[in-house]
Structure 1
Amino acid sequence: MATDGLVDSTTDAALKSLNDIVLPLPVSYMPQTWSWAALGAVLVALVALASWRWLRRWRANRYRREALAALEALGRQSMAQTATDRFGQQLAELLKRTALAAWPREEVAKLSGDDWAAFLAQHATSPHDEVLGPLVDDREYRPASQPSGEERARLIDAARKWIESHHVPA
């Protein structure tokens, strides 16, 4: 039996008594207890401290990045057969500039010969490869006696290791 679109009185009364669905309040993202807020603050502080220390270390090592870039350019120049007879002088000068950037001028500028080689060995973090000692002691002032290609590669590698790993007291 069709009611022709008419709803009986009982159904009509039941439909009118229905209310809309009440949605719950949205869940807050704020911590429910003070300990979670304190933990969050400590974590934010630790991240900020770690970021600050990383930035300080990165800025303090700027001279190392610049010295490594200059060493890379010197290495390319020396291996490309456009090497000048000043290779030993240029490498020793680069090491001296690197040391002057890290230590006080009064401590480093006066060093030469055996004292300069001892300084390089003393501040190396790994056992010092004796390749740099003869360079700064002997070849620094003798442009005529230039190293071979293989020896240049060893000198550049030793200089790179020293620049990357020398220890500067705080």
Structure 2
Amino acid sequence: MSLMVKQDTLTTDSLAQIAASLDMGPLQEPEAVSFTFDTIGWPILGGLVLLGIVVLMVLQVRAYHKNRYRREALSELENVVNGKRPLFYSFVLLKRTAMHAYGRNKVGEMYGKSWYEFLDKKAQGVSFAALQERIDRLIYQDELPEEQVKTAIITNTKKWIKDHVSR
């Protein structure tokens, strides 16, 4: 091991001696590279960044306007939660929201099991089909469900309005 260290030291020392014996003169440094914004690339990059910002803003405004019906339905659902509207009104909101999102021709004629299955398919994590019997009694017999079922209906309605996939 010590033999290798000595060998490397000898090689390094001999190279240092050879370099020292050569007269190469002073070290020549290159000129400093100037950094200015005068080149054509900077205005192009600035324009592209600005264009990207404008496009993102336009997309955000369009998404905001497109989802206006959701915000309105959620604010009306608060009237059901606060007791200003009856519980069955949440299904009026669901139907109206679904007609806005999927069209009157597709949604308008749906009822019963097919309606609840449609709602379950169009949003993740909702389960109206499981509550079908209690919902039907609420709508058709004006029978108020237990508090737990009422909470499940309102929670599912809110989640569906927020999370349904349009078209």
2:15 maps to none
Contact 1:132 1:158 in 2 (8 A): no
- The 8 Å contact of residues 126 and 159 in structure 2, kept in 1 or not, is answered as no
Q: Distance in 1 between matches of 2:97 and 2:106?
A: 13
- Counterpart in the other structure of 1:148: 146
Structure 2 equivalent of residue 107 of structure 1: 106
Aligned partner of 2:120 in structure 1 is 121
Does the CA contact (< 8 Å) of 2:116 and 2:132 recur in 1? yes
| Superimposed CA distance per residue, residues 5-41 of structure 1 (whole angstroms, 9 cap, x where no aligned partner) | xxxxxxxxxxxxxxxxxxxxxxxxx931110100000
Does residue 52 (structure 1) correspond to residue 66 (structure 2)? The answer is: no
**Alignment partners' CA distance in 1, 2:62 and 2:132:** 32
1:1-170 matches, within 5 Å, as 31-77=37-83, 86-88=86-88, 90-124=89-123, 126-130=124-128, 133-134=132-133, 137-143=136-142, 145-169=143-167
Q: 1:97 to 1:31 in 2, by over 3 A?
A: same
Instruction: Supply the distance in 2 between the matched residues of 1:168 and 1:140 (Cα, whole angstroms).
Output: 26
The TM-score with structure 1 as length reference comes to 0.69
Q: Which is further off, 133-142 or 160-169?
A: 133-142
Higher relative contact order (CA 8 A, sep 6+): 1
* Counterpart amino acid of residue 140 in structure 1: I
Q: Which has the higher helix share?
A: 2
User: Percent identity of the aligned residues?
Assistant: 29
Please list every run of 5 or more consecutive structure 1 residues that lacks an aligned counterpart in the other structure. 1-29
Q: Which moved more, 1:113-122 or 1:128-137?
A: 128-137
Distance 2:105 2:126 in 1: 24
Letter of the aligned partner of 2:94 in structure 1?
L
Give, in whole Å, the separation in 2 of the partners of 1:72 and 1:164: 13
TM-score of the pair, normalised by structure 2: 0.71
Deviation at 1:118, TM superposition (A): 1.3
> Shift in Å at residue 74 of structure 1?
0.8
What is the count of residue pairs matched by the alignment?
131
Matches of 1:139 and 1:59, distance apart in 2: 34
Structure 2: distance between partners of 1:118 and 1:154: 16
Contact 1:71 1:160 in 2 (8 A): yes
Contact (CA 8 Å) 1:64, 1:164: kept in 2 or not? yes
Structure 1 residue 112, shift from structure 2 partner: 0.5
**Aligned residues: CA RMSD:** 2.1
**In 1, Cα distance between equivalents of 2:71 and 2:133:** 25
